[in-house]
Amino acid sequence: MKKVLLGMLISLGLVSGVQAADVAQLTAVCAGCHGPDGNSMVPTFPKLAGQGERYLLKQLNDIKSGARAIPEMTGLLDKMSADDLAAISAHYAGKKMQGGQADPALVELGQKIYRAGNEKSGVSACTACHGPAGKGVDSAAFPALAGQHAAYVESSLVKFSKGQRANDPNAMMRTVAAAMKESEMKAVSAYIQGLYE
- Write out the DSSP string of 128-146: HHH-TTS--BGGGTBPP-T
Q: Closest Cα to residue 160, out of 126, 191, 136, 134?
A: 126
What pLDDT score was predicted for residue 16?
39
Judgement on whether residues 118 and 188 belong to the same structural domain of the protein? yes
- Whether 157 is covered by a domain: the verdict is yes
d(CA 155, CA 5): 53
Q: What average pLDDT does range 105-121 have in this prediction?
A: 96
Domain closes at, from 40, 66, 93? 93
Judgement on whether residues 39 and 66 belong to the same structural domain of the protein? yes
Domain that holds residue 122: 107-193
Angle, CA 35 vertex, CA 31 and CA 38 arms, to 5°: 100
Judgement on whether residues 82 and 133 belong to the same structural domain of the protein? no
Beta strands in the chain (DSSP E): none
Q: What is the pTM of this model?
A: 0.87
Beta bridge partners of 137: 142
Give residue-wise pLDDT tens across range 21-49: 688 999 999 999 999 999 999 999 999 99
